[in-house]
Structure formats: structure tokens, C-alpha cells
Structure 1
Amino acid sequence: MAFIAELANTARAALSDHHRVRRFDTKDDASPVTEFDRAVEQMLRDRIHHRYPDHGIVGEEFAAELPDAEFVWIMDPIDGTKQFIAGIPVFTTLIALCHNGTPVVGLIDAPATDDRWLGVSGGVTTHNGEVVHTSGRTTVAGATVSWSNPEVVLDPHLAGRERLNALTAWRVFGAAAFGCGRLASGALDLAIESGTTGPHDVCALAPIIEAAGGKCSDGFGEPITLHSTSTFLAAATPELHAEALTTLNSDRC
């Protein structure tokens, strides 16, 4: 716990100069990347190498190292790079520790708003040191939703998205991992992404949401692991998750 907090503090210190971002590059997948993304990830990798040289590392900006190790650190130095570049303060740093491919510790750190969520599988989730819980909602009707990127939705989920939108109370867009932190704190009921995720986007989220009382999977009901790609569905309770999963995949059932 002390070490993952140390990693988060390192990232937060580097990102304190976010207001000076003016330039960015465009990656092969058309997403932007800044010097901060690369610099922060390298700093975190260096600290892990020094402290746990036998652990693996999987990040967004550089090649994976020892991805089949028993313990693997997963990181996204800036989740919400577009928001970061635009100066919208919902960008976060995501850090997770996986054991045999399953995320067991997750951290969301939002430096611009001084918010930090930390979750431990089988334990509790804290927000700035205080234990938090999900809302407890069990039905889709009337639920509130964070759609991370509504511009990108997999074809199998297009019709399901419209059904969820019709059933739920209201939605927020573009909150990325920050929305999952708010779900863990009980402010939102569902968080969904379909089409733009990788393990660095989701591994930190699962321990946080589930230790707070929620349930996570990919968009087709498979567990979140080191190998998860493309989709993510989180809910305040297992009951809500089951109904949302069925609704999202109604055209496939």
C-alpha cells in the first residue's frame, strides 16, 4: 500500500505542471499522447524496477516487460489524455497490481482535483483515506451512467446502448476513470466503455469498484484480467450489473 501510494505521488508531482501542455503527438490509433504520458510512465517503471525487479510491467506507452510474471504492475500514466490537453480536470493516473493475471490492488489518482481512490480485493475501497461504498442500486430503471466515450461503441452494443439510455435516468460523458471513482463513492450507478479500452484502462478499476460493493466485467460478462480488451462494464451491485449486461447485449441473446 505504501509503495503504490509512492507511485501515485510521483505521478501527481509530475502532472502538477499540466497547465503548460501545448503540444502533443498522435499515435497510430489516432489518440493523442504528450511528453507527460511518456515521462510519467518511465518514472513509475524506474521505481518498480528498483523496488521489485522480478515483477512485470504493462503500460500504455512502452512495451510490456515480464507480462507472464506472478506479479505484474499495470499503469496508465494519464487516463483521459484529451481532457488533460484541454485542461479539463478529470484526467487521472491509473495503477494496478495483478497477481497471476487478476487485478488485486487498484488506484485512481486525480491530481487536478486532489481525489484518490484505492481498492484492495477482499478488502475495502477508500477515497482520500475514508472508506466508501457504491450506491446499492439494483435495477437499471432510474440508474445514472458514466459513458466514457460514447463516440466509440462496438457494433454488438449499439442497440443495447440505446436501450440502456432509454431505461436509465441520465448520463455523463467523458469522465473516463474519474467516473468509476465516483461510482465507487456512490455518486453514479453504472460505468460503461465499449471499444476503446485495454488492460491499462481497466485493471485498476475492478478492485476499487468491487471492494466498494460493486461488480465489474468486460462488456460481454468476462472477468477483468491482465488480458482484457475493448470493453468495460461496472455497476453498483451484482444485481444491477446482471441487468445492465443483459440489456447491453440484448441483440446477442
Structure 2
Amino acid sequence: MTNFWDTVLNFAETTTARIGTKLLEDFGRLQPTLKSDGSLVTSADKWADEEIRNGILDTFPSHDILSEEGEHVFSGAEWCWVIDPIDGTTNFTRGIPIWGISLGLLYQGTPIFGYVHFPNINQSFHGYWHGASSSDAENGAFMNKRPIHTSSDSPSQNQFFNVCARSTAVLQKPVPCKIRMLGVTTYNFLSVATGAALGGVESTPKVWDLAAVWAIVQAAGGVLVPLTEGSVFPLQEGENYGDRSYPTLVSSRAELVPVFKPLVEYLGEKR
């Protein structure tokens, strides 16, 4: 019998690869429209969203689905996929090659598996976090199927800290690392998982920005710290997550949280 987690990984890998191949044909060629929250969307986002949702319904008919372009209310289902068909739509429309397809699998409202595929740069990340509590999956994080782990280095001007466009006020304080702005929430956080950066912050991520990387980053040894009261996960039954943002700090290890958190606490205060 095929292992459940083998099925999950194979589905995520083949689905994102197939969709990524089609999206590469549209890369840098589509005109976006503006959504009510000010973010961009294209016909490619909507097509990819429908393709992923249909694939989940065919392969995992008992699983629920939340997606940026579709359903936003959590039903309370035991298993739920949270998908972002194109994370980094602005990069995608402007011809900047860092953008990805993100799939997170929640068990009882908390992410325990994540998969993010970046077609242009040929990088695919996946990870299992606390999966052993619900199956035989072992914790672990991978890029292109090779194990990854966060860095044990100390902050310095030879290390990176990632920011988003809405968190640039961090530059008003001395930052113990070089700053990078990548324009994609998942890649921002996954670069910490690989050890490329020591930390990062996102001011307005939604649950579909966080679900996949929540599992991968922690499996790689990293720490995600909400900057507002309460935790992002587990999701609550009946809640609409369409307009909720969760300012989040990511750190390569717990010891660096006191170093980075004072730089970005203002993001939580703005909520």
C-alpha cells in the first residue's frame, strides 16, 4: 500500500511542476488587475488556483481547501490544504523570476506539511513538522530533496535579514545584518530555512502565505514569531481568513529572537 505521505509529496511535486510549466509561458506577459485588498491578480493566478483545487478534490476528496483566490472560511475539517497559486504575483507580472506555487497541508488546523515550487529558478522546498503526531512522517526539511537546515552563524554585516516593502521602517534602527527585499513571502522565509539568511519579517502575510513555510521553516530548525497577540495556527472553525494579516518574524534559531524582535515589534503595534 502506498504510504499516505508518499502520496502527499508526489501530488505536491507533480501538480506544482505541471502548473509551473504552464505558468512559465505566461511569465512577464500578463496584465494584472487590482483586488479589493490592493494586491494584484492575473488570469494565471485564477487558472492555477482552479487546477490545484481540482487536483486536491480528485486525489484527496475528504480534504478541505482554503485558497487565496477561492474559499476563505475554515470548515474545521481534520485535513485542509491551504494554497497560494502564485506567491509573488507582482514579480511574476514584471518578469522578475522569484515567484512560487505554495501548498500547505493542515492537520486539525495546524500546518504539518508544506511544499513550495519556484519554476523559474528550479527550486522546490518541502517539509514535515510534527507529522509523527498524526502519521508515520518524520520531521525534516528539504530543497530539491536534499536536507536543509537554518544557520548557526551570528549576526554580522556578512549575514542577511529579509524585509518586505511594508516593513522598511526597520531601517530606522541599527540592523546587525545586511538587508534584502525579495518580494515573495515564501522565499523570504525559506531563505532562512536554507541558512542563506538569519531572519526576516513580513508585515501583512495571510494564512496562504504562511501555511507551507510554517511547516518547512520549523522542520529546518527555524522559529516563527507572531508579532500580534495570539497565534496564527491552529485555524478556528467558521472563521473567515480572507482579510486577516499576521505580521510575522522568522529567525534561524530561538536565541536570535531577542536580537531581531525589537527591530520589528512596531509592526504588531500598528495592528
Corresponding residue of 2:60: 52
With 100-109 and 64-73 compared, the bigger mean Cα shift is at 64-73
Match of 1:68 among 72, 76, 82: 76
3-state SS, counterpart of residue 78 of structure 1:
strand
Mapped to 2, the partners of 1:243 and 1:224 lie a distance apart of 22
Query: How many angstroms does 1:230 deviate by?
Result: 3.0
3-state SS, counterpart of residue 167 of structure 1:
coil
The runs of 5 or more residues in structure 1 that have no matched partner are: none
With 74-83 and 55-64 compared, the bigger mean Cα shift is at 55-64
Contact 2:161–2:180 under 8 Å retained in 1: yes
Corresponding residue of 1:3: 11
Corresponding residue of 1:178: 187
Percent identical pairs in the alignment equals: 23
With 41-50 and 243-252 compared, the bigger mean Cα shift is at 243-252
The amino acid across from 2:17 in the alignment is N
CA RMSD after TM alignment: 2.4
Match of 2:85 among 77, 88, 99: 77
The amino acid across from 1:130 in the alignment is R
Query: How many angstroms does 1:22 deviate by?
Result: 2.8
Q: Give every structure 1 segment of 4 or more consecutive aligned residues whose post-TM-superposition deviation is greater than 6 Å.
A: none
Query: How many angstroms does 1:93 deviate by?
Result: 0.9
**TM-score normalized by the length of structure 1:** 0.86
Mapped to 2, the partners of 1:132 and 1:199 lie a distance apart of 23
Corresponding residue of 2:162: 146
Corresponding residue of 1:36: 44
Corresponding residue of 2:254: 238
Mapped to 2, the partners of 1:141 and 1:22 lie a distance apart of 38
* Residues 66, 173 of structure 1: alpha-carbon distance in 2 compared, 3 angstrom cutoff: closer
3-state SS, counterpart of residue 174 of structure 2:
helix
Query: How many angstroms does 1:67 deviate by?
Result: 3.0
Query: How many angstroms does 1:136 deviate by?
Result: 1.7
Contact 2:114–2:128 under 8 Å retained in 1: yes
Query: How many angstroms does 1:23 deviate by?
Result: 1.8
Aligned length: 243
Corresponding residue of 2:200: 191
* Residues 107, 211 of structure 1: alpha-carbon distance in 2 compared, 3 angstrom cutoff: same
Corresponding residue of 1:211: 219
